[in-house]
Amino acid sequence: MAPAPPAAEQPLEHELQQELSSIMLQGYITGLRREFETKLCENHNHISTLSKSCKENLSEITALRDELNCILTAAAALESTLLPHHNNLEKAEETNSLKMKDDNDIPDFSLLKHMHGEELMTFLKSEWLKSRRQHEYELQQTTEELFRLKRHLAKDGAVLPFRKERELEFIKSKLLQTISKMDGIISRKEGSGSHYNEDDELCRLKDRIGSLLDENEHLRGLLSDKRNEAKQLSAQVVDAQSNVAQRSLSESKLCDELQDLKIESHLKELLELSVLREVFGSYENQIDDHNQEECFLRELLMEKEERLLTMSGDKRKLKYENDQLVSIVGSKLVQHHEEFDLVNDELTMFREKVCEQELLILEFKGESSSMKSCLDEAIQQIHVCKQEIVGLTESLASMSVALEEAKEQNALLDATIWEMKRTAAPRTDGHIGDDAGPLEQFTLVSMEKLSKAYSDFESRLAQSMKQNDIRLTRIIRRFNPLVQQVAVLKKKEFWYKQILEIKCSNLEKAEAEVDVLGDEVETLLSVLGKIYIALDHYSPVLKHYPGVTEILNVAHKVLKGESIEQYNTLLKH
């Protein structure tokens, strides 16, 4: 009679577990759906802001184009008032201005909407490189024309008015400022171009939501089928629960992968934006420094030309000074190249460390997910054991009550049997009544049978209680290691969380160090570029010194990243 209640309660427990699992799955799927809907709304808002920024950039570009036209008309009006022997310079500047107009024509931005993210980035980079090359070519032509006119004026003895030159320099500076503004707008275009990849991400998210909804409907159908089957066959409930658990684990893994991919894409976008901003900021600083150096070098050239015309005897001193400058520049180039190599080595080391730390983080995530699954299984086992303990305690209480009642009834029966035997003994001795003898014997036999039945019932109750005690001890023994395992898993989870926090902080520190090293590398490259440009502008004057031209070629190779063995051989000679 004892094992009957647990067998009757098993289908009820399975039905309750099925209902709880279905409720949990529905809540989890609705939460996922809400998260995806919020993310879709955020992406739509981001796309609308990007379209607004594109329209603002178009208006800024048109305003800058009008500014350029006004400046060029002012330059043409000023140049028309110069002396007649500057006609060649006017023609060259007009052709350059026409080239600038043709080069700075803004393409149709309606075509950019049909481009993908990578195509748009390559298109903007090519446009930026074209404008940069055109600007450098125009600067070189203007400097050569300026040197040629100065030589011609030195021969003829004529002097240009300084006021006209200052006005031309002011107009050129205005042109350079507008070009830098155009570069800034292009850089912002490149920065915004990286966000067009979010359309693909939106499509992926929509596809993912559709697949998750299909999986949700499929799971609901499976749950309904499993409920109907559980009413008919209680043995198949375990298989249905295992299938549901596997599907929930696959959904959780997919959600974790989605979050990891989103975090990686967000980090890549932030890195690209920061790199582009730093590159264009350094480029603008280089242009400003180049303009200041150009003015300073022009003044130095005027002074040196006057000294060459007045003092021809100082050539030896100038040669000696030039040799010293060349040696200093060469040594600085070698030092900067060595520092650049060291910084590159450190950057590679930091990148390797970052990759190792990312791998460790992925391993910790996998271990934490496995630990969570183990915790869930242990908690489920603990609930099952608790329910079994409650049922056994109830059955023990009912059996103990029945035992006490049986003992009381047995004691009453023993007392009645003893009284009947005591009363029957004198009757048998005195032979009182022949009819009463068989009735008393029948009652005695029936009472003995009842006492034997009660004793058998008592022995059965004792055996069932012993069996229940044994089951209780077994369940307690099974329950204790599960509790210890849960405590150990909780400690491990806390430890892994601390390790993850430490690794994240180390990663942030490494990223900050990499940014600092990148800034140092960019400053060193900008210094090398400035030295090369400053020496390259003096190329017509320095052609008389053969060693200087060779060192200029070596500096150009260093900027390209080639070897500097030629410079070392020159220093040895």
Q: What is the pLDDT of residues 374-407, one digit of tens each?
A: 777 767 777 776 777 777 777 777 777 777 777 7
Crossing angle of helices 197-232 and 237-310, rounded to 10°: 170
Instruction: List the structure tokens of 113.
Output: 């909407």
Q: Using a pLDDT cut of 90, give the percent of the chain over it.
A: 0
Range with lowest mean pLDDT among 60-64, 187-191, 288-292, 407-411: 187-191
What is the pLDDT of the chain when averaged over all its residues?
Answer: 68
The answer, yes or no, to whether residue 5 has pLDDT greater than 50, is: no
Mean pLDDT of 84-90: 47
Distance CA(351)–CA(498), nearest Å, equals 23
User: How confident is the model over 421-438, as pLDDT tens digits?
Assistant: 676 555 554 444 444 456
pLDDT for the residue 290:
72
The answer, yes or no, to whether residue 564 has pLDDT greater than 60, is: no
E strand or H helix that includes residue 222: helix 197-232
3-state class (DSSP) for residue 491: helix
Whether this model's pTM surpasses 0.95: no
pLDDT for the residue 101:
44
C-alpha closest to that of 471 among 400, 403, 388, 398: 388
Question: Would you state the torsion angle of the CA atoms of residues 310, 315, 321, 323, taken in this order, to the nearest 10 degrees?
Answer: 150
Rg (CA), the chain: 47
Mean pLDDT of 167-191: 63
Answer yes or no: are the C-beta atoms of 329 and 551 closer than 8 Å.
yes
> How many residues in the chain?
573
Instruction: List the structure tokens of 296.
Output: 């300073």
**Residue with tokens 């989870």, as numbered in its chain:** 493
Q: Using a pLDDT cut of 70, give the percent of the chain over it.
A: 52
HSE, side-chain direction, 13 A CA sphere, residue 285: 12
User: How confident is the model over 268-327, as pLDDT tens digits?
Assistant: 777 767 776 777 677 677 777 777 877 787 788 788 777 766 666 656 666 677 667 667
Higher pLDDT, 286 or 538: 286
Distance CA(196)–CA(191), nearest Å, equals 10
C-alpha closest to that of 74 among 177, 164, 181: 164
User: How confident is the model over 99-143, as pLDDT tens digits?
Assistant: 444 444 445 555 655 666 677 677 777 777 787 787 778 777 877
Distance CA(240)–CA(215), nearest Å, equals 16
pLDDT for the residue 41:
78
Higher pLDDT, 141 or 234: 141
Mean pLDDT of 205-221: 65
HSE, side-chain direction, 13 A CA sphere, residue 78: 18
The answer, yes or no, to whether residue 3 has pLDDT greater than 50, is: no
Range with lowest mean pLDDT among 49-58, 133-142, 234-243: 234-243
